Structure 1
Amino acid sequence: MIAHWITNECERKLAALACKRIKGTHSFHKIAEIMEEIHLEYNLTWNKIVGTVIDNGSNFVKAFKIYGIKTSVLDFEMEAENMSDSDQSSSSASESDENPRMWTEKLSNHIRCGSHTLNLCASADLKKTLIKNSALSNIHDQVLGKCNKLWKAAQRPKSAEIIENIIGHTLTRPGETRWNSLYNALQQIMEIREKCGQLFKELGFKNPLNDREFEYVQEHLKCTKPIAEALDILQEEKNTFYGILIPCLALK
């Protein structure tokens, strides 16, 4: 869990609050419980948190649906003012009145992860398009089928050696969790177009990618490039603040 905030000088800041292992089932109850423990440790009541950004996993979504609050930025500001007035008028309050346990089972506002949402736009929305267009679906399946042969071959020592001897490097197989890894892998396939026939022959594969299929890969890359580049920016290991989402989308 990482905290992000803006200083009075309008500087973006972040700090790691915790990195905890979840043992057993990653249920929404368990997720909510661990998040609350971290909040309590830093006295982060829900009215101090504008929002919590998580991925779109059903267990995370349900945790906030069951235990979270629904509030707008305006509600948040009004609540903060009320809390400030209350603090000034009750300086002699007992320790139990100040105990964060009073807000047990209240998580903050839930904000869906921009990167995960873009991943769904590129994967789920593409899937819907392919279902509606059988011709497009056929060539898409043919292309990925042939590419998968190369990607799987790159995982085997003997085949990997053949690939490296022909193209000078190995081939990167797309990951399951990050859609832009598929974009990068297809871009790599496009770059070895001239050696594709030789590659298939040396590996003992029939029917290499033909001109029509390479044209499809080229069109696919052209259409998905803005999303892939946006994801590369949003998924950087450092300096990734929620405030860069809209500018990133606007530029791409």
Structure 2
Amino acid sequence: MILTDTHTHLYSEEFAQDRTEMIERAIDNGVSRFFIPSIDSAYTQKMYDLEAQFPDNIFLMMGLHPCYIKPETYELELAHVEAELSKRKFYAVGEIGVDMYWDKTTLKIQQDAFKRQIQLAKEHKLAINIHCREAFDEVFEVLESEKAADLFGIFHCFAGDFAQAKRAIDLNMKLGIGGVATFKNGKIDQFLNEIDLKHIVLETDSPYLAPVPFRGKRNESSYTKLVAEKLAQIYQLPVEEIARTTTENSKAIFGI
């Protein structure tokens, strides 16, 4: 059984004491594919170091996270994203999008950066990996403006309602499902079985959003298996089928 964690911050400082052991633990649990989103230029070398350590398992994205968009630096950060994309192979542009939880004052430049990174993804024929927190309308506004056959990707950490799920799928996005699906107040488990499994990929967003029974603690990629087990309950399918289908879906998005 091969599980794919389509979104994990393995370079996080929270793994500083046991990073290698944590990754090996995930591999031992069947999670053998890790897709690593970029945050900003400060983490680029750490991503490259991880890839060199686990070249058969780790696949990198490049992008500027909306929470790291600052008026004084975002042009330089976008230039870094563009330069790195031109240098080597990446598997998506991400994580990119809009976050209205931490700082509403940067909405205009968040949307500008989102739009420009979508255009970079199209130029390089790559998927996008979307960060959306309390910003569905703002994210959909940009996606609609860039809607095209060559716009595709993953709505990372999807936590919207059924209508928003359908809208994301109509815009050629898979839904990234993680620990929220196991929360009692997560709500997505109430309608997820109405979404065809072909639109779903698994993720952890580790070290954040650990699934039950680890909610509130550090998340890690081995817990992808717990998300798969929850989806097996929701879809009334064997966990092996969840693993197989969601991994195939990830291959369709990332091309590997």
After TM superposition, is the score higher than 0.5?
no
Which structure is higher in RCO with an 8 Å CA cutoff and minimum separation 6? Answer: 2
Structure with bigger gyration radius: 1
TM-score, L = length of structure 1: 0.26
- Higher relative helix content: 1
